[in-house]
Amino acid sequence: MSSANTRNPDTTDAQGHLGWDVAPGFYKVRAEKTGCTAPNNPAQAFNETAVLSIPPLVVDLEIRLNCPGGTSTLNGSVVFQGKGVAGDARWAGPLSVQLFQAGTSTLVTLVKPTGSANGTFTVTGIAPGSYDVEVKQAQTLSRRANAVVLTAGSATTQSFGTLPAGDVDNNNTITIIDFSILRASFGLSDGQTGYDARADLNKNGTVDVLDFSLLRANFGLAGPVVAGAAVGAASAR
């Protein structure tokens, strides 16, 4: 560097630009960052320019690094009660996924992926780490899997198990309040005055005894239910 400009290290401006004065001569400029490599050589942990002859002034120098696996992916799956088997269109729809710092109540991120008819969902762009992951659908209790390890540049697969149905008001407990809403809509179908779609737990367009049975099977439960734990099986009623 020129003696008139010896800021080292230096930082970029808001546009990512960085510049400095040098004494006349021949230079290479090298860039490196932990976890990154040269785009055309994964074995080389840096990238650098060709030899630059200074002067003249060199501007718009661009040094690219390939930084793979900066984030991780979670491929999750859940099972629904009362809506047939995996592949049923009633399984598809919005989910709420919360990632907590493992072992704490610190919420790192809340995402709302759309689950498939098979109950699978994907969350991408997560910083690698260990998380307690909680999954909820609006009419079910949540399920939680603890200490799920997400690794940079790869996808982690996690089954959460059956989401207990019956949380009509979406507060993660199944109580008399949920029952009251269901009762108020009992016997009504989509389109009728007073019909409350939240109480249609099996998503068949009518609030009836099937919905009541689902709610009754899980009555008194609260989420999150730990992934893998058994819950009241509505299908047994």
Residues at the site binding Ca ion, with contacts judged by CB under 5 A = 167, 169, 171, 173, 178, 200, 202, 204, 206, 211
CB of 145 to Ca ion, least distance (A): 22
Q: How far is the CB of 177 from Ca ion (least distance, A)?
A: 6
CA of 81: how far to CAs of 58, 165, 177, 219, in Å?
66, 6, 20, 14
Beta carbon nearer to Ca ion, 132 or 211? 211
CA pair distance 218, 164, nearest whole angstrom: 7
Give 132 or 169: the residue with its C-beta nearer to Ca ion.
Answer: 169
The smaller minimum CB distance to Ca ion, of residues 123 and 168, is found at 168
Closest to Ca ion by CB, 150 vs 225, is 225
Q: Give me the amino acid identity at 237.
A: R
- What is residue 15's three-state secondary structure? coil
Separation between Cα atoms, residue 208 and residue 188, nearest integer Å: 8
- In whole angstroms, the minimum distance from the beta carbon of 97 to Ca ion comes to 19
Taking the complex as a whole, the smallest distance from the CB of residue 160 to Ca ion amounts, in Å, to 19
Integer Cα distance of 64 and 39 in angstroms: 7
Count of CB atoms situated within 10 Å of the CB of 236:
7
Q: Return the closest-CA partner of residue 142 out of 114, 116, 174, 113.
A: 174
* Closer residue to Ca ion in complex, CB, 72/218: 218
Question: Cβ of residue 105: shortest distance to Ca ion, in angstroms?
Answer: 21
- Who's near 147: CB < 8 A, 6+ residues apart? 102, 103, 130, 131, 132
CB atoms inside a 10 Å sphere around CB 145: 20
Shortest reach from residue 200's CB to Ca ion, in Å:
4
Q: Take residue 63 and report the two structure tokens written for it.
A: 């040094």
For residue 180, the minimal CB distance to Ca ion (Å) is 10
Interatomic CA distance for residues 81 and 97, integer angstroms:
19
Structure tokens at 138: 């609006």
Q: Which residues contact 62 (CB under 8 A, 6 or more apart)?
A: none
When the beta carbons of 150 and 174 are compared against Ca ion, the nearer one is 174
Residue closer to Ca ion, measured from CB, 75 or 204: 204
